[in-house]
């Protein structure tokens, strides 16, 4: 890279996935694929692979706070993505530090429910996330099960998605991207800015390999916002990126494989 080029610096605050498909690892791959410099604050270390999560070790509040301080006291941060934050103390530490440093771009991916339907946050942590992190985020990106947890209502239609997005906005979110991947038909994501809806439709891809799609989408949105794109364009570009990554997902391991974060770059380089 030529001296003097101002690369955007983007931070992910999330858990580590040792199998590389989700969490911090997926975020950093996504940042690199978008040409931004990725940094990380690790909130938890997980033992997981394509078949499931087998152990979780949460990082202490003090170490999480020190990681955030170390980044912001030294480096200009162009955007922040928040992923897995399972403990009340973790959420409070992140909210306190980000309120102190005030980054303009914060994308919150409220990781509340696993693909198997397991609740990853206890009720107190869910309430704390909504109270502390929702108001400081530029955009929150729940999927349908997460939106059901947040609104305490079932969601199975586009109309119910719209109502849920409005309800989450009323909780303090500035913008809500409600992901429709759990709908029966083609996937429709809706973006609500408090005034109007925007719709992002994609054809459902026949693959089991979708590990880390939520992490990857929110990180792609963060990267595109940091690069200067408006919110709608950032979401549109991120949807295009994740669609290609899913289309060319990787069948590794014995279970649900990851998406291909670098397919477009590898293809252009003639490596595929």
For residues 106-132, give the mean pLDDT.
Answer: 83
Q: Choose the catalytic residue: 210, 216, 222, 259.
A: 210
Q: Is 215 a catalytic residue?
A: yes
- Using DSSP's 3-state secondary structure scheme, residue 172 falls into coil
The angle subtended at Cα 249 by Cα 17 and Cα 154, nearest 5°, is: 70
When pLDDT is cut at 50, 70 and 90, the band that residue 272 belongs to is confident
CATH class of 9-264: alpha beta
pLDDT given at position 114? 65
Q: Is 179 a catalytic residue?
A: yes
Average pLDDT, rounded, for the chain = 92
Report the run of H or E that residue 49 belongs to, with start and end.
strand 37-49
Q: Is 254 a catalytic residue?
A: no
What is the residue extent of each domain of the chain?
9-264
Nearest to 226 by CA among 83, 43, 39, 85: 39
**Residue indicated by tokens 């209502």:** 153
Q: Is 208 a catalytic residue?
A: no
For residues 146-168, give the mean pLDDT.
Answer: 94
What is the C-alpha R_g of the chain?
17
Kindly report, residue by residue over 202-221, the tens digit of the pLDDT.
878 888 988 889 999 999 99
In angstroms, the CA 107 to CA 225 distance is 9
Nearest to 135 by CA among 163, 87, 84, 94: 94
Report the run of H or E that residue 52 belongs to, with start and end.
strand 52-58
Query: Picking from 41-50, 119-128, 174-183, which range would have the lowest pLDDT averaged per residue?
Result: 119-128
Q: Choose the catalytic residue: 83, 214, 216, 243.
A: 214
pLDDT given at position 28? 98
Kindly report, residue by residue over 216-263, the tens digit of the pLDDT.
999 999 999 999 999 999 999 999 999 999 999 999 999 999 999 999
Q: Are 55 and 46 in contact (CB under 8 A)?
A: yes
Torsion region of 224: left, alpha or beta (phi above 0 gives left; psi -120 to 50 gives alpha):
alpha
pLDDT given at position 115? 62
pLDDT given at position 205? 86
User: In the chain, where does DSSP find H-type helix?
Assistant: 23-33, 61-72, 88-101, 123-132, 144-151, 158-170, 213-226, 231-247, 263-268
Q: Is 210 a catalytic residue?
A: yes
For residues 154-174, give the mean pLDDT.
Answer: 95
Nearest to 102 by CA among 135, 136, 60: 136
Residue 38: CB partners within 8 Å, gap ≥ 6? Answer: 10, 11, 12, 27, 28, 31, 32
Q: Is 213 a catalytic residue?
A: yes
- Locate 205 and state its tokens: 């891809």
Q: Choose the catalytic residue: 46, 215, 222, 239.
A: 215
CA distances to 165, 197, 215, 223, 229 from 35, rounded to whole Å, are 31, 29, 17, 8, 14
For residues 3-28, give the mean pLDDT.
Answer: 92
Q: Choose the catalytic residue: 179, 216, 243, 257.
A: 179
Could you tell me what percent of the chain has a pLDDT over 90? 80
- Strands 79-82 and 52-58, how do they pair? unpaired
Q: Choose the catalytic residue: 43, 128, 213, 259.
A: 213
Q: Choose the catalytic residue: 212, 216, 222, 259.
A: 212
């Amino acid at each position: 890279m030529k001296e003097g080029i101002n690369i955007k610096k983007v931070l992910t605050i999330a858990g580590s996935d040792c199998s590389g498909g989700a969490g911090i690892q997926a975020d950093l791959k996504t940042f690199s694929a978008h040409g931004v410099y990725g940094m990380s604050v690790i909130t938890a270390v997980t033992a997981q692979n394509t078949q499931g999560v087998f152990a979780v070790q949460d990082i202490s509040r003090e170490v999480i706070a020190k990681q955030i301080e170390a980044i912001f006291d030294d480096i200009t941060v162009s955007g922040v993505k928040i992923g897995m934050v399972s403990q009340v103390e973790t959420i409070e530490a992140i909210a306190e530090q980000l309120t102190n440093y005030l980054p303009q771009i914060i994308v919150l991916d409220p990781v509340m429910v696993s693909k198997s339907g397991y609740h990853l946050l206890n009720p107190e942590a869910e309430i704390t996330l909504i109270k502390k992190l929702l108001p400081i985020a530029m955009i929150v990106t729940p999927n349908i099960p997460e939106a059901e947890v947040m609104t305490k209502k079932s969601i199975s239609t586009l109309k119910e998605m719209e109502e849920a997005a409005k309800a989450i906005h009323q909780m303090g979110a500035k913008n809500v991207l409600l992901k429709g991947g759990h709908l029966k038909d083609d996937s429709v994501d809706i973006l609500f800015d408090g005034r109007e809806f925007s719709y992002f439709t994609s054809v459902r891809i026949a693959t089991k390999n979708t590990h880390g799609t939520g992490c990857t989408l929110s990180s792609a949105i963060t990267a595109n916002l940091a690069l200067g794109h408006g919110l709608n364009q950032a979401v549109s570009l991120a949807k295009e990126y994740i669609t290609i990554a899913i289309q060319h997902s990787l069948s590794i391991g014995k279970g649900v494989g990851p998406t291909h974060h670098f397919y477009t770059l590898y293809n252009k380089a003639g490596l595929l």
